[in-house]
Structure 1
């Protein structure tokens, strides 16, 4: 017999109490939401061991993957993080206070600011990345390579269907 999860019980309850509804979508969305909560908790736990929160890790990782000189203008950072400008300002303020990023005037536009990883920020994110990848591998360990590829393709298809197609890089 196939192992059951909590969502199986929820779907069965709906099927019993509202047989006029098809609870299949509820089951899928419920599993996505429950898994997202568990993944977020595991990521937060790891980031804490690095002295960061999830949002700080996100900014540092975004700057690091941008390539040398590991800097982006605020607009590009905002686009990559998918949060409000106020949220980015708060994140950058926190990271700046920790000495992990610095703000520099943009040479091409005096109104713009460039956010750059400091050497300490680069060292911290480089040190945190290997453990982060190991943590993600642990979270996906129940799936083999083919299952991972299939899930990746299906999630990509859903994201595209819901408009997540804007390129991060200009």
Structure 2
């Protein structure tokens, strides 16, 4: 219980601080998730709605709603797929790229602060121990 209680408390703190970091940049956590998935795709920062849906583990309807809302804010744009006439690509706008980059910088700062009590060796050790616990769960 000692381990999982602490992991749970840390997860709650991380969630709370992530939300605060994103809100400081005008984003909800789900908005950050979509924008960062596009950012990770690399230039030209685009993906199909289906690939976003798979990566973010949401339904088709949820993904459509999220894209609609981000498009209304000018953070993403839909365009015809260059590979499939029936397909659509979702791409970051310059405003979307700027917003997610700033929010990511804030997130990195928050995560660094959470781990500040650990030196590099302890952070590496913690990462390795957590990886060992998670490997069987991810298969």
TM-score by length of 2: 0.89
Distance, in Å, in 1 between the alignment partners of 2:64 and 2:5 is 33
Find out whether 1:105 has 2:80 as its counterpart.
Answer: yes
Contact 1:103 1:114 in 2 (8 A): yes
* 1:50 shift after superposition: 0.3
The residue aligned with 1:127 is 102
Structure 1 residues 94 and 34: alpha-carbon distance in aligned structure 2, compared to 1, 3 A threshold: same
Q: Provide the aligned length of Structure 1 versus Structure 2.
A: 139
CA RMSD of aligned residues (A): 1.6
Structure 2: how far apart are the matches of 1:43 and 1:100?
Answer: 20
Distance, in Å, in 1 between the alignment partners of 2:58 and 2:9 is 22
Relative to structure 1, is the Cα distance of residues 154 and 88 closer, same or farther in structure 2, using a 3 angstrom cutoff? farther
| TM-score normalised per structure 1 | 0.74
Report the Cα offset of residue 46 of structure 1.
1.0
State which structure, 1 or 2, has the greater radius of gyration over its C-alpha atoms. Answer: 1
> Unmatched 5+ residue regions in structure 2?
none
Higher fraction of helix? 2
Larger CA deviation: 119-128 vs 65-74: 119-128
How far apart, CA to CA, are the structure 1 residues paired with 2:60 and 2:134? 23
Q: Distance in 1 between matches of 2:112 and 2:69?
A: 29
Gaps of 5+ in 1: 1-25, 165-170
